[in-house]
């Protein structure tokens, strides 16, 4: 028998499960430190992480123990079976820990189980319970034999067993890897002297979610979208392969740095926080239920602080094009994703938000008041930006998206991207800032279409409410793009890209549909369709256009695929120069900067289905 001469008591199941849950939490804390080694450089962060996870998993396992206690009470007269239930409560959390992929045991049982559904899931759960119950029966018998030989109770043997298991766990998982020693900042690449005659200006515009095959090409063929048709006629164009996961914050940062997420460090829209833990938690072990599954539930607990926060620009580990190009020329960054707080650059920087959630005039004022002007750089730039207007948006323009004869309530969430887009000042502000600061390179968030895909695809082409909202948005973007092209002139190298396209059939972009690539200017071949480019090719293309050396640590610079969009004359006249790297960043911050828009950004991500 599991505990003494009498049968197990219901409380024993609760205690066994809680102790096993605490042990599992200890192991998961160790695995979490392996994934986030920066946490180990702060003792208080390390201790609090262990306390939260040990306490959290102990509490979760206590629920299992409560169910086991009810079963033990029901089986009181069946001593061996009741003992086995207690042992099962103590085994299940530990077995769960040992089956996690991060334990390195090579088992795919847990992955297979979690991938099941319906009848298959029920059968696998029943089989797992039966195996654990049989193992519990054997364990209870073995512990009873050990206790009798030691002339003691299993209630004495069991804590010793858990202590030995904890020691074994530390040996198995190993000590948490210390954070890598901060490397001495790399010496900035020696740039050759700038030419006496600067190269033509380069402007990079990113339209979040713009789709080529299902929207732009058919609309151009139907005689719509004259600005895109002009770029196809006068420049190079085609699809732009993206990367997975197709999360805009990640892909936008890949485009502007030319580096994969493992190097630039922006892995999602949001990172995790635990109360008292100062630094960000980027990732939890696979199958622990913590990555955007358990945290949304915890945030609903009364009094619980917000546990997920947006990534911020100070957390990026790789240099952006505005940092690199800024060593030689004046640059501009306009509302790029993950650009809060605004960086100090050789030119201008306007912090960006998400979709229709942007740092508008009011938010810039609030941010300036609360956070010392971190919404723009230099602070005086605010005078050049649009000021708040009491006029609002013309209701007739909104009606074109809603559809004739249809009405929606003023507070309807679907109106937010429409109103936000119509109020977006990029076509007005960007050319003005480019001229005012005389920049050679500017990167800007253009009008986003991705929220329209997410919110209105179900209504598309059905003849009812919002049926024309997606097409209307592309018409609006095209008109604004045409205005920008006219202001910038034919000598400006204009590149328009998107981070991904959209799978309209399945209503998502999870499986990385390609984005768009349009490029017009003196260096681009007119009317040339170019496929085979990817988001890694944009940064080296910009550097080549500006006559700057190409770094070997950019994947696109190594492949040279971007050259397919350029004329032979330009390639012959501007030979590439290679350098190892531009990077000088050595120790990025792991603490995000709060902004007045954080709550709104989280709500938008929920509405679009990115987070729960």
Q: What is the pLDDT of residues 395-415, one digit of tens each?
A: 677 888 998 878 888 778 788
At 595 the pLDDT is 73
pTM, two decimals, is 0.85
In the DSSP assignment, the letter for residue 215 is: I
Greater model confidence, 114 or 320: 320
Give me the torsion for CA of 550, 555, 559, 561, rounded to 10°.
-90
Best CA proximity match to 8, nearest among 223, 222, 154? 154
Helical residues (DSSP H) of 235-317, grouped into ranges: 248-257, 261-264, 295-298
- CA 161: distance to chain centroid? 41
Token pair for 528: 């040339």
In the DSSP assignment, the letter for residue 268 is: S
Mean pLDDT score across all residues of the chain: 82
Task: Say whether pLDDT at 90 is over 50.
Answer: yes
d(CA 534, CA 555): 10
Token pair for 482: 């045409």
**Total Cβ atoms within 10 A of residue 473:** 24
In the DSSP assignment, the letter for residue 440 is: S
Best CA proximity match to 601, nearest among 374, 349, 359, 245? 359
- CA 477: distance to chain centroid? 25
Best CA proximity match to 56, nearest among 251, 297, 407, 417? 297
Percent of the chain at pLDDT above 70? 77
Burial environment of residue 395 by CB neighbours within 10 A (0 to 12, 13 to 18, 19 or more): exposed
At 475 the pLDDT is 96
Distances (CA, A) of 248 to 122, 423, 445, 452, 548: 36, 22, 12, 15, 27
Best CA proximity match to 449, nearest among 228, 205, 211? 211
Greater model confidence, 378 or 126: 378
d(CA 249, CA 337): 6
- CA 314: distance to chain centroid? 15
Sign of torsion over alpha carbons 168, 23, 137, 86: positive
Q: Domains of the chain by range and CATH?
A: 10-173 (no CATH), 202-534+544-559+576-607 (3.40.720.10)
At 391 the pLDDT is 54
At 2 the pLDDT is 43
Task: Say whether pLDDT at 133 is over 80.
Answer: no
Task: Say whether pLDDT at 472 is over 80.
Answer: yes
For residues 143-162, average pLDDT: 60
Region of residue 249 (phi > 0: left; psi between -120 and 50: alpha; otherwise: beta)? alpha
Best CA proximity match to 352, nearest among 321, 330, 374? 374
């Amino acid at each position: 028998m599991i505990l003494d001469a009498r049968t197990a008591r219901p409380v024993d199941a609760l205690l066994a499960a809680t102790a096993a849950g605490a042990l599992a939490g200890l192991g998961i804390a160790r695995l979490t430190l392996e994934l986030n080694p920066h946490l180990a450089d702060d003792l208080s962060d390390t201790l609090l992480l262990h306390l939260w996870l040990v306490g959290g998993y102990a509490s979760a396992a206590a629920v299992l123990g409560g169910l086991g206690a009810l079963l033990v009470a029901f089986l009181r007269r069946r001593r061996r079976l009741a003992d086995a239930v207690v042992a099962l409560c103590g085994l299940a959390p530990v077995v769960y820990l040992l089956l996690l992929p991060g334990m390195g045991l090579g088992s795919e049982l847990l992955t297979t189980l979690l991938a099941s559904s319906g009848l298959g899931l029920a059968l696998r759960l029943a089989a797992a319970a039966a195996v654990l119950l049989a193992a519990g029966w054997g364990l209870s018998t073995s512990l009873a034999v050990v206790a009798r030989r030691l002339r003691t109770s299993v209630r004495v043997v069991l804590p010793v067993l858990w202590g030995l298991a904890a020691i074994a766990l530390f040996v198995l998982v190993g000590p948490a890897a210390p954070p890598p020693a901060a490397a001495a900042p790399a010496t900035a690449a020696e740039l050759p002297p700038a030419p006496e005659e600067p190269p033509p200006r380069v402007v990079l515009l990113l339209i979040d979610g713009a789709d080529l095959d299902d929207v732009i090409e058919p609309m151009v063929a139907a005689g719509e979208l004259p600005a895109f048709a002009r770029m196809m006629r006068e420049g190079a164009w085609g699809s732009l392969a993206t990367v997975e996961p197709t999360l805009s914050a990640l892909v936008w940062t890949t485009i502007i740095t030319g580096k994969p997420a493992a190097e630039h460090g922006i892995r999602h829209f949001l990172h995790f926080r635990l109360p008292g833990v100062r630094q960000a938690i980027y990732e939890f072990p696979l199958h622990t239920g913590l990555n955007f599954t358990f945290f949304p539930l915890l945030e609903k607990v009364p009094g619980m602080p917000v546990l997920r926060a947006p990534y911020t620009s100070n957390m990026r580990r790789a240099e952006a094009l505005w940092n690199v190009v800024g060593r030689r020329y004046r640059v501009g960054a306009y509302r790029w994703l993950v650009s809060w707080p605004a960086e100090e650059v050789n030119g201008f920087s306007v912090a960006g938000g998400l979709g229709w959630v942007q740092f508008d005039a009011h938010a810039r004022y609030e941010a300036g008041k609360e956070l010392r002007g971190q919404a723009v750089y230099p602070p005086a730039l605010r005078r050049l930006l649009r000021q708040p207007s009491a006029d609002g948006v013309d209701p007739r323009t909104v009606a074109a998206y809603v559809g004739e004869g249809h009405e929606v309530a003023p507070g309807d969430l679907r109106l937010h991207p429409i109103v936000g887009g119509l109020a977006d000042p990029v076509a007005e502000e960007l050319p003005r800032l480019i001229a005012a600061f005389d920049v050679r390179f500017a990167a800007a968030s253009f009008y986003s279409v991705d929220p329209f895909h997410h919110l209105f695809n179900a209504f598309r082409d059905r003849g009812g409410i919002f049926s024309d909202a997606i097409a209307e948005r592309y018409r609006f973007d095209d008109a604004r793009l045409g205005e920008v092209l006219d202001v910038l002139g034919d000598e400006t190298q204009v590149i328009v890209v998107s981070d991904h396209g959209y799978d309209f059939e399945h209503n998502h972009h999870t499986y990385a549909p390609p984005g768009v690539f349009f490029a017009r200017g003196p260096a681009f071949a007119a009317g040339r369709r170019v496929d085979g480019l990817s988001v890694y090719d944009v940064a080296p293309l910009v550097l080549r256009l500006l006559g700057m050396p190409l770094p070997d640590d950019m994947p696109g610079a190594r492949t040279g695929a971007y050259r397919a969009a350029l004329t032979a004359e330009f390639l012959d006249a501007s030979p590439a120069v290679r350098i190892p790297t531009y990077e000088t960043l050595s120790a990025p911050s792991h603490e995000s900067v709060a902004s007045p828009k954080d709550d709104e950004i989280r709500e938008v991500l929920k509405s679009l289905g990115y987070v729960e």
